[in-house]
């Protein structure tokens, strides 16, 4: 279910009306059901994976902290997971209904699926019981470590299979073929579940935080399930830490007038970015990166700039709408973007772009690797590993790996130069400041091209064209829609004023009311104009 659809408007209206009418505990139950409906709208079969992820980390947190599970703590997730396995993992719902009505027809549910489930359930249950009995008799330190490692292995194993199995299998076959060894790998027709990288990382951080003694586990399974599946930020973030979001699930919430006003404004801003701008430039970007004809320098340059605009307005739009919807429910989500294209250095860019992923990688990857607590080469190694893995997180393709490597090189060079200067930053003057903006902007744009490219061959082609000016300066791509052109102008002015006023998200409250009203009116007008644009799926849904 997409935010920018009539279905979501109806869905949100019904859910919000029920939410305001229900008491606290019933609110949580209703939000959990709504979140599963929201995710299942895409493909309800993959709810099983989310429930599996939820159950594993719920159990892991309790075993890490308390050493064992009570009967209720074990049975509740187990029954919920069993129901998910029976009714969500590839079953034919219409066939189930016909069987319940007494029909004796043969269905895929009866002939193919049920025997496998009936065999798998006792096997999986027996394995889990043996692992559990082994863990609870270990000394505390060993139990805690073994449990958190097991949780990480299971979660990354599921993520790795669905997202990377075919990629690594194909890469292995290609590598062996290059040295004269021919092998035949088995490939699977795997559908990538929407948002699996986001909710897996969010759930996994919960068990890690408990292991680090940074928080206590919750004993309420369905509160934890709501933390993992909360629908506004479920599919494309921000990736929340349990220490921020989970207490808002376990404690009664209040909704202030300011939250409602701010939430509606963020929803409006997000819709403007997505409908008017991102969808308005999507066709132009696709016409260039999807072209099979001659590409000119103007095509490569304009296509790269337009994609930088598209991915920012598309992704930040999702975060804005997610935060706005959450505010309507009295829930605060973290800020995921702070005007990233105003960054002066590569490191600052990552402090402003996809902040929830940047902080996640810093807390759960860079820091455990040792961070910058050693030699320069040790720090560079950790930075490179973090950024390459961050690139691979975005997708199973070599352009993402190359993009992560490129960003790792930029941040590492900045770190090395910083140390070489005696840990002194470059003094910002009227001369150096514009050069820093322009230089970092060019570096960021080239990274955007790496991210969007459809193949390594296209990367080499675009790089050669941009470096040499080959092909001339005639633009042959599709022009952006009128709503996008107007929207870009409005957004640039809006963000320039915001940046000059310190970057506060509420900067507009200090502006004269007629000025704010005019800006909002322009955004709403351009959003309605953009309804004629071809709707495009949010880019980060694929991750």
468-483: pLDDT as tens digits: 888 788 888 899 999 9
* Average pLDDT value for the chain: 87
CA gap 114, 116 in Å, rounded: 5
- Band (pLDDT 50/70/90 cuts) for residue 4 is confident
How many CB atoms are located within 10 Å of the residue 138 CB?
14
Q: Does residue 41 or residue 386 have the better pLDDT?
A: 386
Q: What was the pLDDT predicted at 105?
A: 41
Q: What was the pLDDT predicted at 104?
A: 45
Q: Express each pLDDT in 145-169 by its tens digit.
A: 999 999 999 999 888 888 877 766 6
- Is 245 strand, coil or helix? helix
Q: What was the pLDDT predicted at 324?
A: 95
Sequence-distant (≥ 6) Cβ neighbours of residue 260 within 8 angstroms: 327, 328
Among 7-11, 131-135, 248-252, 269-273, which range has the highest average pLDDT? 269-273
Structure tokens at 375: 């030699």
Q: Does residue 90 or residue 1 have the better pLDDT?
A: 1
Sequence-distant (≥ 6) Cβ neighbours of residue 405 within 8 angstroms: 384, 387, 388, 391
Nearest to 277 by CA among 1, 543, 533: 533
DSSP state of 392: H
Q: Express each pLDDT in 7-49 by its tens digit.
A: 899 999 999 999 999 999 999 999 999 999 998 887 777 888 8
Handedness of CA 7, 9, 15, 18 (dihedral sign): negative
CA angle 205, 209, 214 (to 5 degrees): 150
CA gap 222, 325 in Å, rounded: 21
Q: What is the pTM (predicted TM-score) of this model?
A: 0.89
Q: Which of 273, 344, 352, 394 is catalytic?
A: 394
Q: What was the pLDDT predicted at 110?
A: 38
Q: Residue 411 in contact with residue 384, Cβ under 8 Å?
A: no
Whether 354 is a known active-site residue: answer no
Average the pLDDT over 211-226 and give the result.
93
Sequence-distant (≥ 6) Cβ neighbours of residue 488 within 8 angstroms: 277, 309, 480
- Band (pLDDT 50/70/90 cuts) for residue 172 is low
Place of tokens 């095509």: 299
CA gap 242, 224 in Å, rounded: 9
Q: What was the pLDDT predicted at 1?
A: 73
Q: Express each pLDDT in 500-534 by its tens digit.
A: 988 888 888 888 999 999 999 999 999 999 998 88
From residue 242, give the alpha-carbon distance in Å to each of 145, 204, 469. Answer: 20, 10, 50
- 96 pLDDT above the threshold of 90: no
Nearest to 359 by CA among 502, 449, 237: 237
DSSP state of 5: S
- Band (pLDDT 50/70/90 cuts) for residue 135 is confident
- Is 526 strand, coil or helix? helix
Q: Residue 226 in contact with residue 32, Cβ under 8 Å?
A: yes
């Amino acid at each position: 279910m997409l935010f920018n659809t009539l279905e979501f408007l109806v869905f949100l209206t019904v859910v919000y009306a029920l939410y305001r009418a229900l008491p606290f505990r019933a609110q949580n139950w209703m939000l959990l059901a709504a979140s599963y409906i929201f995710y299942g709208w895409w493909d309800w079969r993959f709810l099983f994976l989310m429930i599996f992820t939820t159950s594993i980390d719920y159990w892991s947190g309790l075993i890490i902290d308390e050493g064992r599970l009570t009967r209720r703590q074990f049975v509740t997730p187990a029954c919920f997971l069993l129901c998910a396995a029976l009714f969500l993992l590839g079953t034919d719902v219409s066939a189930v209904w016909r069987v319940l009505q007494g029909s004796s027809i043969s269905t895929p549910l009866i002939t193919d699926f049920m025997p496998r489930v009936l065999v798998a359930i006792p096997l999986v249950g027996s394995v889990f019981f043996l692992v559990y009995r082994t863990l609870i008799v270990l000394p505390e330190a060993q139990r805690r470590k073994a449990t958190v490692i097991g949780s990480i292995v299971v979660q990354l194993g599921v993520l790795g299979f669905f997202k990377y199995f075919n990629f690594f299998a194909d890469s292995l076959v290609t590598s062996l073929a290059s040295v004269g060894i021919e092998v035949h790998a088995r490939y699977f027709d795997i559908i990538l579940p929407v948002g699996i990288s986001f909710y897996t990382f969010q759930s996994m951080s919960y068990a890690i935080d408990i292991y680090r003694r940074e928080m206590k586990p919750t004993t309420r399974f369905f509160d934890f399930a709501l933390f993992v599946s909360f629908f506004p930020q479920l599919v494309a973030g921000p990736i929340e830490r349990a220490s921020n979001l989970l207490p808002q699930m376990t404690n009664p919430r209040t909704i202030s007038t300011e939250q409602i006003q701010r939430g509606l404004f963020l929803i409006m801003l997000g819709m403007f970015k997505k409908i008017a701008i991102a969808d308005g430039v999507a066709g132009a970007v696709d016409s260039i990166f999807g072209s099979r004809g001659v590409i000119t320098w103007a095509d490569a340059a304009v296509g790269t700039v337009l994609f930088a605009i598209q991915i920012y307005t598309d992704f930040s739009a999702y975060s804005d709408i997610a935060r706005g919807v959450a505010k309507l429910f009295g829930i605060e989500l973290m800020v995921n973007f702070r005007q990233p294209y105003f960054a002066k250095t590569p490191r600052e860019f990552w402090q402003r772009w996809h902040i929830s992923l940047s902080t996640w990688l810093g807390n759960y990857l860079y820091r455990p690797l040792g961070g910058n607590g050693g030699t320069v080469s040790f720090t560079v190694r950790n930075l490179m590993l973090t950024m390459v893995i961050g690139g691979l997180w975005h997708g199973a393709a070599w352009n993402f790996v190359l993009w992560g490597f490129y960003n790792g090189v930029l941040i590492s060079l900045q770190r090395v130069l910083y140390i070489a200067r005696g840990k002194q930053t470059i003094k910002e003057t009227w001369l150096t400041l514009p050069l820093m903006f322009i230089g970092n902007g060019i570096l960021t744009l080239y990274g955007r091209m790496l991210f969007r490219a459809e193949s390594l061959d296209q990367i080499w082609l675009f790089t050669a064209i941009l470096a040499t000016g080959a092909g001339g300066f005639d633009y042959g791509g599709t022009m952006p829609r009128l709503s996008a052109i107007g929207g870009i102008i409005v957004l640039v002015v809006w963000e320039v004023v915001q940046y000059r006023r310190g970057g506060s998200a509420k900067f507009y409250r200090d502006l004269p009311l007629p000025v704010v009203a005019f800006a909002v009116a322009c955004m709403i007008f351009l959003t309605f104009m953009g309804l004629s644009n071809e709707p495009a799926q949010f880019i980060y849904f694929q991750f």
